[in-house]
Amino acid sequence: MNNQTDTPDITVIEEVLKQIVHEETEEKATKATQKEEQTMPKLSLELSLKRRLDELPKKDEKTVLLSICRIPANIRERDKMFYEPRVVSIGPFYRGRDSLRAMEEQKLYHLRDFLARYPETDMKVLVREMILLEDQARQCYAERINLDSREFVEMLLLDGCFILENAIKWLNNESDRLKHVRWATQCIFSDLLLAENQIPFFVVTKLISLIQADEKQRTELLYILSAYFGSNFFCFVPFHVDTHSLSGARNLVHLYYQLFVPKRRSYQSNPKNTFASTSTRGLFSTFKLCIFPQSGQGDLKQNIEEPIYVIPCATELLQSGIIFKPKKSPTDLLDVTFQDGILEMPPLSLGPRDKVTFLNAVAFEQSSGEDEFLPFTSYVALMENLVKTSKDVVALRQCGIIYTFDPNEEEVALFFNHAGQVCSLDYSNHYLANLFTEIKCYYNGRQNKLKDKTRF
């Protein structure tokens, strides 16, 4: 037997090495694939975000103010009847809702009548101009609108012409398919003044500029719109038409708002009032008088536990001797005066439609940044303080301050409570802040005098 050393077969070694290399290669490839798979979602997310950022308007492009915002869901869901359309959709938020489809055909009738009214107006021109406004109009909404270009442009044209033709028919008392359906015409009015149910007002003014008519007729259309909305205000005050400022309205709610909001910057205290003040600095001086009165102003020494913006309800004010009177010739909703213990304010109408327009005017003001002193919201704060229970409603009704078609006074009180809850207000610096102070100081003085009398 030959004593021979075992030597490995080269072929076998090569095969083993190949196998090892193959396995290592496969392992590396697997790891690379896994790493790539782990990286891909990150890359996809990055690309997705980059694409969405690229879709945003460039910083150097003209900024378009948001003019149509959503009502906060917690508010809308609690009282949908105040914030959602019942008959007609305007704009994209409620477009396509089943309960509103019937009015889409009516919009076509209104478009036909509008074009017949101005026969030389070219439909092609109207469509082309709406196409040019599309991007600007989309930027006015607080959320992305999921309508393609054709649908969006059609919406602008139909809704804009519907708004104009509806007001013209109303002014001329023209025959219309809906004229004798009274509930429908009432609902259309309130639907047109819902904060979410809007198109930008520059769409309406563009349509006015495109009709084949003289300048006087175009200007008259703004007056017609103003008259349509102004004739149905929830407060018995005259409306003021300034076509220059109205043409710059952001939407129909803003147009309505401009008709009645006072031009002055804040409540003007009466100079005869002991506690009169017309500035923020004066407001704090007046507050000091409530706690540390000067001679001749009565003993008002008292620790006021609640903030100065909390004023007594109507029943308590009446019991203290304060008199409520309806303002005979108010200039606007905020024309409220307090002098010598007499509070005069414009009478307020509170039908179902009035409640809707009231709340949506406040909703617009809350989202628009229109006025830092928030006059409508300030008025809501006043009414929320005055009306706490059904007794206050009865008292103000008897004084001629509130006119309501609701026989349930408790429902009216709940309405003002709801209105107050949906508002945000800086109570130290709002439109009626000085009025609050005057009423509170006068009331405290009366209460202290009554206490002094009971001591002896």
Average per-residue pLDDT for the chain: 81
Q: Are residues 224 and 334 in the same domain?
A: no
Q: Note whether residue 48 is domain-resident.
A: no
The more confident residue out of 62 and 29 is 29
Q: Are residues 388 and 355 in the same domain?
A: yes
Mean pLDDT of 207-226: 89
Q: Are residues 292 and 247 in the same domain?
A: no
Q: Note whether residue 38 is domain-resident.
A: no
Q: Are residues 228 and 300 in the same domain?
A: no
Tell me how far apart the alpha carbons of residues 334 and 431 are, in angstroms, rounded to a whole number. 9
Q: Are residues 353 and 402 in the same domain?
A: yes
Q: Note whether residue 29 is domain-resident.
A: no
Mean pLDDT of 342-362: 90
Tell me how far apart the alpha carbons of residues 84 and 82 are, in angstroms, rounded to a whole number. 6
Q: Note whether residue 445 is domain-resident.
A: yes
Q: Is the separation of the CB atoms in 205 and 298 below 8 Å?
A: no
Q: Are residues 230 and 339 in the same domain?
A: no
Neighbours of 425 (CB within 10 A): 19
Q: Are residues 136 and 246 in the same domain?
A: yes
- The boundaries of the domain holding residue 324 are 280-451
Helices (H) and strands (E) in the chain, counts: 17, 5
Q: Are residues 363 and 241 in the same domain?
A: no
pTM of this prediction?
A: 0.78
Q: What band does 331 get if pLDDT is binned at 50, 70 and 90?
A: confident
Q: What is the percent of the chain where pLDDT is above 90?
A: 44
Among 49-53, 341-345, 426-430, top mean pLDDT goes to 341-345
pLDDT for the residue 454: 62
Residue ending a domain, choose from 208, 232, 260? 260
The more confident residue out of 331 and 291 is 331
Q: Note whether residue 27 is domain-resident.
A: no
Tell me how far apart the alpha carbons of residues 131 and 98 are, in angstroms, rounded to a whole number. 27
298 pLDDT above the threshold of 50? no
Per-residue pLDDT tens for 136-179? Answer: 999 999 999 999 999 999 999 999 999 999 999 998 988 777 76
393 pLDDT above the threshold of 60? yes
Q: Note whether residue 223 is domain-resident.
A: yes
Q: Are residues 337 and 408 in the same domain?
A: yes
Tell me how far apart the alpha carbons of residues 115 and 71 are, in angstroms, rounded to a whole number. 35
Q: Note whether residue 335 is domain-resident.
A: yes
Q: Are residues 287 and 399 in the same domain?
A: yes
Tell me how far apart the alpha carbons of residues 271 and 278 are, in angstroms, rounded to a whole number. 9
Number of domains in the chain: 2
pLDDT for the residue 285: 36
Q: Is the separation of the CB atoms in 441 and 275 below 8 Å?
A: yes
Q: Are residues 311 and 425 in the same domain?
A: yes
Q: Note whether residue 133 is domain-resident.
A: yes
Mean pLDDT of 100-127: 94
Among 12-21, 42-51, 155-164, top mean pLDDT goes to 155-164
As to burial, measured by CB atoms within 10 angstroms (0-12 exposed, 13-18 middle, 19+ buried), residue 278 is: middle
* Backbone region of residue 454 per phi and psi (left: phi > 0; alpha: psi in -120 to 50; beta: other values): alpha
Tell me how far apart the alpha carbons of residues 295 and 316 are, in angstroms, rounded to a whole number. 26
Q: Are residues 319 and 431 in the same domain?
A: yes
Q: What is the percent of the chain where pLDDT is above 70?
A: 75
Q: CA-CA distances (angstroms) from residue 90 to 153, 199, 288?
A: 13, 7, 51
Give me the residues paired with residue 141 across strands: 68
Q: What is the widest separation between alpha-carbon atoms in the chain? A: 143
Residue ending a domain, choose from 260, 293, 327? 260
320 pLDDT above the threshold of 80? yes
